[in-house]
Amino acid sequence: MPETPHPLDVVAPAQIARLVEEVGLRKVALPFWPLLTLGVLAGAFIAFGGMFYTVTVTGSELGLGPTRLLGGMAFSLGLVLVIVGGAELFTGNSLIVLALADGKVTLAQLLRNWGIVYLGNLIGSLGTAALVHFSGTLGLGDGAVGATAVAIAEGKLSLSVTEAFARAILCNVLVCLAVWMCFAAHSVSGKVLVILFPITAFVALGFEHSIANMYLIPVGMLHAGEFALAPALQNLAVVTAGNVVGGGVLVALVYWLVYLRPGKTGGS
């Protein structure tokens, strides 16, 4: 019987790279309907994090830093649900680029996975936004939560292309590092802990997450009754591209170069 790892032990980065590759192979092999369904769940889970964030920051008098810190901690719920509950998140699946670089996954397999998961994330996010709108939850605090939701959406739509792209790159570096570090943890509590800090950081710093925006922008527009479709689609396209660069290139490809490429010299 294999020895059970000690809970204080962590998996070395080189082994994490191999585990990420193995998981990537399983992800691209998933049939259409399970993959789409898990994508829908992830979109809803991230929306729950967005809902929690919106309520948490509403009416706070703690000041900018502490308020965004608490909001970021609340938003971390989304990735905790994705990782521990089990779901397929487009931004986290940027790590499949590692398997692509190693020749274990084809470009067609990668794009199929991304396309199905992205569609599922969109369905889950939009569906949750609609449910929240019709639930009356945005009326909490005499409408203050709804006003916050509208302000969040307007702030995102006001970003320039350069700002949105740069913030999206930085965002998915942190998201994919959170997912990466989850492979080092042996317990649920360990996974939650390694998720908490990177996700709190990206939210507090105002970075841009494409799947979160699939909820945060529509729910704000629904509440305001004003639909700026073209700016919303532009934001989503730019942020999605930035997320791919941040997670696929600056995390997955860099770790492949260090740990898995032929003739690599990276540490253990």
User: Apex CA 8: angle with CA 179 and CA 252, to 5°?
Assistant: 25
191-194 contacts at long range (C-beta below 8 A, 24 or more positions apart): 191/80, 191/83, 191/84, 192/80, 192/84
pLDDT score of 264 more than 80: no
**Is the pLDDT confidence value at 137 over 70?**
yes
Q: Using one digit for the tens of pLDDT, what is the confidence trace for 167-182?
A: 999 999 999 999 999 9
Share the mean pLDDT of the chain: 94
- Determine the CATH number of domain 38-259: 1.20.1080.10
Annotated domain spans of the chain? 38-259
Residue 4: the pLDDT is: 52
State pTM to two decimals: 0.93
3-class DSSP state for residue 159?
coil
The 10s digit of each residue's pLDDT in 117-126 is: 999 999 999 9
**Residue 106, SS3?**
coil
User: Could you give the CA distance from residue 245 to residue 240 in angstroms, rounded to a whole number?
Assistant: 9
Amino acid 9: pLDDT: 62
Could you tell me if 84 and 188 are in contact, meaning their C-beta atoms sit under 8 angstroms apart?
A: yes
